[in-house]
Amino acid sequence: MIRFDQVNKTYLGGFLALKQVSFQIAPGEMAFLTGHSGAGKSTLLKLISLMEKPSSGTIHINNQDLAQVGYRQVPYMRRHIGMIFQNHNLLMDRTVFDNVALPLIIEGYSQKEIRKRVDAALDKVHLGNKQKSFPNMLSGGEQQRVGIARAIVNKPPILLADEPTGNLDPKLSLEIIKLFEEFNSVGVSVLIATHDLGLIARMRYRTLTLRAGNMINDGLVDGLQPDDAMANGETRYD
Ligand SMILES: Nc1ncnc2c1ncn2[C@@H]1O[C@H](COP(=O)(O)OP(=O)(O)OP(=O)(O)O)[C@@H](O)[C@H]1O
């Protein structure tokens, strides 16, 4: 469960990136987060993953008030959250297997357990046959799937994705979203930040829309008009 109550985020220098943002994502829910560039999407994801702190308001993750989480508990809290990035942040000089194993090595799992879990994670993203490849031997969509395997390898109950389909064509984008749907169908909460209004319109999930730090819309996007951007004929927020 993710819950924001009246959250403000002001960055150093005084820029107000989120304004009185309140919403809740239930366990096992899947939703999109959209809005123009600079609207505050990444800031919102960073607050959930404890990479930034709110300036005021409260955030609860799985009933835990993040304001009460001490600095030593942060790694423990982060284990509950899988993060996926647009540029997938893979280590290019390590194999696919090693990239996916990384979170488990950091947590001190045994070699046997690491092998078992990495095999399972790579199977889920249909890359079981690429374990020994290096990332630059893979297509963009495959690299993104390695990033997804790494995010889910320790089975977090929450998955956050920041523009996971940004560099992919519509067919590959849909494949990535279908993977998220598979995780969601086994109870994982999924929040996907994207500019891609066409994708949102096709998928018909609850969509949170930010504009200049304000949450201006929260609900199912009906038809092709998430808000005025679509009405103007735009297919992406830029
Ligand atoms: N560390 C920071 N310090 C100061 N300002 C920041 C910082 N990070 C983000 N901002 C500002 O906060 C606003 C929101 O940024 P954020 O990255 O959350 O937007 P976004 O909706 O994710 O944009 P994009 O779609 O381009 O990634 C922007 O105006 C940005 O310049």
**Mean pLDDT, contiguous 10-residue spans, the chain (238 residues):** 97 96 96 95 96 97 94 90 88 97 92 97 95 95 94 95 88 90 95 90 91 92 49 57
Within this chain, do residues 112 and 223 fall inside the same structural domain, yes or no? no
In this structure, is residue 49 part of a structural domain? yes
Tokens of 188: 């994982």
Helix/strand/coil for 84:
strand
What is the per-residue pLDDT for 146?
96
Q: Which of 41, 83, 165 to mutate to test the pocket of ligand 1 (most atoms within 8 A of CB)?
A: 41
Within this chain, do residues 161 and 140 fall inside the same structural domain, yes or no? no
* CA of residue 103 to ligand 1 center, whole Å: 27
Within this chain, do residues 226 and 175 fall inside the same structural domain, yes or no? yes
**Residues 6 or more apart from 222 whose CB is under 8 A from it?**
none
* CA of residue 114 to ligand 1 center, whole Å: 36
- Boundaries of domain holding 163: 2-80+156-231
Within this chain, do residues 74 and 124 fall inside the same structural domain, yes or no? no
Q: Cβ distance 71 to 48 under 8 Å?
A: no
In this structure, is residue 192 part of a structural domain? yes
Residue 53 CA from chain centroid, whole number: 18
* CA of residue 34 to ligand 1 center, whole Å: 13
* Residue 44 alpha carbon, nearest atom of ligand 1: 18
In this structure, is residue 236 part of a structural domain? no
* Residue 15 alpha carbon, nearest atom of ligand 1: 5
* CA of residue 69 to ligand 1 center, whole Å: 24
Within this chain, do residues 33 and 103 fall inside the same structural domain, yes or no? no
What is the per-residue pLDDT for 204?
83
What is the per-residue pLDDT for 234?
56
Whole-prediction pTM value? 0.90
In this structure, is residue 238 part of a structural domain? no
Side chain identity, residue 132 = K
Within this chain, do residues 29 and 118 fall inside the same structural domain, yes or no? no
Angle at the Cα of 138 from the Cα atoms of 94 and 88, rounded to 5 degrees? 65
- Nearest CA to 153 among 132, 127, 175? 127
- Is the torsion defined by CA of 223, 196, 161, 8 positive or negative? negative
Torsion angle (degrees, nearest 10) of CA 25, 31, 35, 41: 50
User: What CATH number is attached to the domain comprising 185?
Assistant: 3.40.50.300
Question: Ligand 1: residues within 6 Å at CB?
Answer: 11-13, 15, 17, 35, 37-43
| ipTM, two decimals | 0.96
Within this chain, do residues 162 and 209 fall inside the same structural domain, yes or no? yes
Q: Whose CA is nearest to atom 24 of ligand 1?
A: 37
Count up the domains in the chain and report the number: 2
- Nearest CA to 87 among 126, 120, 156, 135? 135
In this structure, is residue 140 part of a structural domain? yes
Q: Whose CA is nearest to atom 28 of ligand 1?
A: 38
What is the per-residue pLDDT for 223?
45
Within this chain, do residues 171 and 211 fall inside the same structural domain, yes or no? yes
CA distance 140 to 146: 10
In this structure, is residue 237 part of a structural domain? no
Within this chain, do residues 162 and 143 fall inside the same structural domain, yes or no? no
What is the per-residue pLDDT for 26?
95
Q: Which of 43, 45, 52 to mutate to test the pocket of ligand 1 (most atoms within 8 A of CB)?
A: 43
Within this chain, do residues 59 and 95 fall inside the same structural domain, yes or no? no
Within this chain, do residues 6 and 76 fall inside the same structural domain, yes or no? yes
* Residue 40 alpha carbon, nearest atom of ligand 1: 18
* CA of residue 15 to ligand 1 center, whole Å: 9
In this structure, is residue 13 part of a structural domain? yes
Q: Which helix (H) or strand (E) holds 54?
A: none
Within this chain, do residues 70 and 97 fall inside the same structural domain, yes or no? no
